Chain A
């Protein structure tokens, strides 16, 4: 009895498997007009209306499921797009940073070319550190004595004079900016050639004062100020004549001529320096020469 049951079971399984394989063989072997293909088309013709009816009848339920599924898909899609958005934002930020670097480099080149600073063997350096102080008085460069940089060499940035080298090691250098409280440089205006000394305004980062000017009444707002070489004995110059320093931004009148305070806005954006140029070979003659008042420097 048991054997018969087992045999019957196995026979049934074998029969159905064999029948499936036969059907498969016939289906693949016959043409499109064969029995099984015709049967399928007939079944389709019969079932299609029924399926359509069922489809319509249960559409709200299916839509509800679809809505749930779509919501999950939408969340997944949202997360994917958010990730993509973040990646694109990073890319844009990177490109904007590169663009700003490029703009600074271009401005730097323009300053060097316009003021004939190429003759002083400029070495381009990247700013790798900056004083966290509000007064931004010092920056660190990625070039040092191995590139020919020495102490007291002038440094220019996009726009004009930035400062001078105060410390050097083999592969780095620090630059004291023109906004440092101890900075002073002989300067003159390009219009009228009024000579004086440029110093930082105490307590106001980014603001310079044009002091000890001989003819302050001749200075006007908008006048450009450039380095003038060592015209003053009191303050020996580290800078060759003709480097743009800034533009007269406002003039505060005092009781007399000597009380007139001339404020200069630096030509270089001291708070946003990425690249600077160190003038590594400035001959003594260039430091002692005075600027030609008629020469129009380009800040």
Chain B
């Protein structure tokens, strides 16, 4: 696979993801909080591609969302850049291969994204009180995204799968198979 193929798939993921998020997913609410899967998507891309890919995808996704939703351009891109970069750094430093790692990363990414977005919004002068409702919405979003982290991770990994020679799960499976195979001893 070539670099343009990676970019093509990422761009497709980005466009379809933003359209689905804004047109459909955001309209589904759980306990009064709209579902926001984009922190999960950004964190998953970072977890699969590394810090550079994560930061770039996060920036692009945030920019696209800001433009599509007519928000202050730069806020979401700044937050998602940090989220994507952080998830990518986790891959580079720890290389998490545990099956539940995406859940932990998804929860952390969602918490960072929601809190970061709220803080930036307040710093930019949005006249809204820091209420218990906001805290509840953040917590609900984190819980929902934690539960959805594994399916989202599986979906994004499936989309980017052919482009990921360093997929930790595949690498782990390969290493374990190699050790157990009688052929490897010969």
Contacts and interface: CB of A to CB of B under 8 A. Distances in A.
A181 to B, nearest CB: 65
Interface string B44-64: 000000011001101100110
Given A47-B68, A51-B22, 15 more contacts: A8-B52, A12-B56, A16-B56, A21-B78, A24-B72, A24-B73, A26-B73, A28-B124, A40-B67, A51-B23, A55-B24, A62-B24, A65-B28, A69-B31, A73-B32
Contacts of B56: 12, 16
Interface residues of B, number: 33
B104 interface: no
Contact of A12 (B23, B55, B72, B75): B55
Contacts of A73: 31-32
20 contacts: A12-B51, A12-B56, A13-B81, A16-B56, A20-B78, A23-B63, A23-B73, A23-B77, A24-B72, A24-B78, A39-B67, A44-B70, A54-B19, A54-B24, A58-B20, A62-B24, A65-B28, A66-B27, A69-B29, A73-B32
Given A47-B19, A54-B20, A66-B28, A16 B68 contact: no
B153 interface: no
Nearest to B89: A9
A145 B85 CA distance: 86
Nearest to A25: B74
B82 interface: yes
A82 interface: no
Given A16-B56, A58-B24, A23 B74 contact: yes
A60 to B, nearest CB: 11
A202 interface: no
Contact of A16 (B27, B31, B81): B81
Interface string B101-132: 00000000000000000000000100000000
B81 A43 contact: no
Interface in A1-39: 8-9, 12-13, 16-17, 19-28, 36, 39
Q: Which 7 A-B pairs have the closest CB atoms?
A: A24-B74, A20-B78, A23-B74, A51-B23, A65-B28, A27-B73, A54-B23
Contacts, number: 98
Main secondary structure of the interface of A (DSSP, over half): helix
A252 interface: no
Contacts of A69: 28-31
Contacts of B51: 9, 12-13
Q: Is the interface of B mostly helix, strand, loop or mixed?
A: helix
B70 A40 contact: yes
Contacts of A16: 55-56, 58-59, 77, 81, 85
A39 B73 CA distance: 10
Contacts of A72: 30-31
B67 A43 contact: yes
A27 B19 contact: no
A50 interface: yes
Contacts of A19: 59, 77
A12 B73 CA distance: 19
A20 B62 contact: yes
A278 B66 CA distance: 81
Nearest to B52: A12
A240 to B, nearest CB: 67
B100 to A, nearest CB: 25
Contacts of B29: 66, 69
Contacts of B24: 54-55, 58, 61-62
Contacts of B58: 16
Contact of A43 (B23, B68, B85): B68
Nearest to B78: A20
Interface string B20-40: 101110011111100000000
